[in-house]
Amino acid sequence: MLSIIPIPAFRDNYIWALHDGRHSAVVDPGDARPVLEWLDANAMELTAILATHHHADHVGGVPALRARYDVPVFGPAREAIPQRTHALGEGDRIVVPGIAIALSVFDIPGHTAGHIAYYALPPDPLVFCGDTLFAAGCGRLFEGTPAQMWSSLSKLAALDRQTRVYCGHEYTLANLRFAAAVEPESADIGVRIEHETGKRERNLPTLPSTIGAERATNPFLRAALPNVMAAAAAHAARPMQDVVDAFATLREWKNGFA
């Protein structure tokens, strides 16, 4: 029986730990210390490290973990990942050592140029999407174009609606405030704000999300809908040329949204 738990790191990062009670793989260990503490506290052995992209708050802990555990490091082929042993890209499939789970790989550039996601299809669908898709939001475009990011998000949005979404940060409430500004009439967003606020008040993570919830409430997945395009056009005070234009306008709008 496989469990997935968040190990909080820094201010709002989650390092995801997949474990069977004895062996554990971690996704995006930006910091080694909370991972080592969690492994020790639970008498768990590290068996693999998975990275989604090269940012330090996702891979900074790799060398210190590898100093204690000689484990494989899976990461995107097109980025510099410390001590990477397995270079991955679109269409690759891995079986995570130590724990019985097979994951497939998507290229999802935009936040960074070589960002990848790890996903599993039904019957137990899930995706580790780093800083590309967030609950009710998406990552900033540090190295990619709006067209790339829109295409990457569309790939993730096409996964089964039950797919559990494990993102890299707890940004959900701030993202939902923006979602409500884009679609003030949305009952789904109103309900989700109440639900997620309740979790944060009890100090619980809002993650994992689901692809179904994201399709219903995430403005960045909804950029092609007429009411979302109209909101983008109203904000920019000009008509939208196409969905990528609407997506780029939403991303810019969110960058300046307090």
The token pair that represents 227 in the structure block: 């009411």
Give residue 230's region: left, alpha or beta (phi > 0; psi -120 to 50): alpha
Q: Residue type at 180?
A: A
Candidates 23, 55, 107, 245; catalytic one: 55
Asked if 219 and 183 touch (Cβ cutoff 8 Å), the reply is yes
Taking the complex as a whole, the smallest distance from the CB of residue 169 to Zn ion amounts, in Å, to 8
Q: 169: which DSSP letter?
A: B
Cross-strand partners of 133: 138
**What is the C-alpha separation between 29 and 109, in angstroms, rounded?**
20
Taking the complex as a whole, the smallest distance from the CB of residue 55 to Zn ion amounts, in Å, to 4
Q: Confirm whether 54 is a catalytic residue.
A: no
Taking the complex as a whole, the smallest distance from the CB of residue 53 to Zn ion amounts, in Å, to 6
Taking CB under 5 A as the binding criterion, the range among 11-19, 34-42, 50-58, 215-223 that sits at the site for Zn ion is 50-58
Taking CB under 5 A as the binding criterion, the range among 74-82, 94-102, 131-139, 193-201 that sits at the site for Zn ion is 131-139
Q: 243: which DSSP letter?
A: H
Q: Confirm whether 235 is a catalytic residue.
A: no
Candidates 19, 53, 54, 115; catalytic one: 53
Our CA angle for 188, 13, 257, nearest 5°, is: 50
Question: Could you tell me the CA-to-CA distances from 98 to 3, 21, 37 in Å, in that order?
Answer: 13, 11, 19
Q: Confirm whether 23 is a catalytic residue.
A: no
Taking the complex as a whole, the smallest distance from the CB of residue 148 to Zn ion amounts, in Å, to 15
Among 31, 131, 170, 183, binds Zn ion (CB under 5 A): 131
Q: Confirm whether 111 is a catalytic residue.
A: yes
The token pair that represents 235 in the structure block: 């904000």
Q: Confirm whether 245 is a catalytic residue.
A: no
How many residues line the site for Zn ion (CB under 5 A)?
A: 2
Taking the complex as a whole, the smallest distance from the CB of residue 139 to Zn ion amounts, in Å, to 6
Nearest CB to Zn ion, comparing residues 55 and 222? 55
Interface characters, 81-100, with Zn ion (x: CB under 5 A): --------------------
Candidates 19, 23, 54, 111; catalytic one: 111
**Under the criterion CB under 5 A, does residue 55 sit at the interface with Zn ion?**
yes
Taking CB under 5 A as the binding criterion, the range among 54-62, 73-81, 87-95, 249-257 that sits at the site for Zn ion is 54-62
**Under the criterion CB under 5 A, does residue 115 sit at the interface with Zn ion?**
no
Taking CB under 5 A as the binding criterion, the range among 32-40, 49-57, 121-129, 242-250 that sits at the site for Zn ion is 49-57
Asked if 131 and 53 touch (Cβ cutoff 8 Å), the reply is yes
**Under the criterion CB under 5 A, does residue 54 sit at the interface with Zn ion?**
no
Instruction: Give a three-class secondary structure readout of 55-119.
Output: CHHHHCCHHHHHHHCCCCEEEECCCCCCCCCEEECCCCEEECCCCCCEEEEEECCCCCCCCEEEE
Taking the complex as a whole, the smallest distance from the CB of residue 110 to Zn ion amounts, in Å, to 11
**What is the C-alpha separation between 214 and 168, in angstroms, rounded?**
15
Residues with catalytic annotation?
53, 55, 57-58, 111, 131, 169
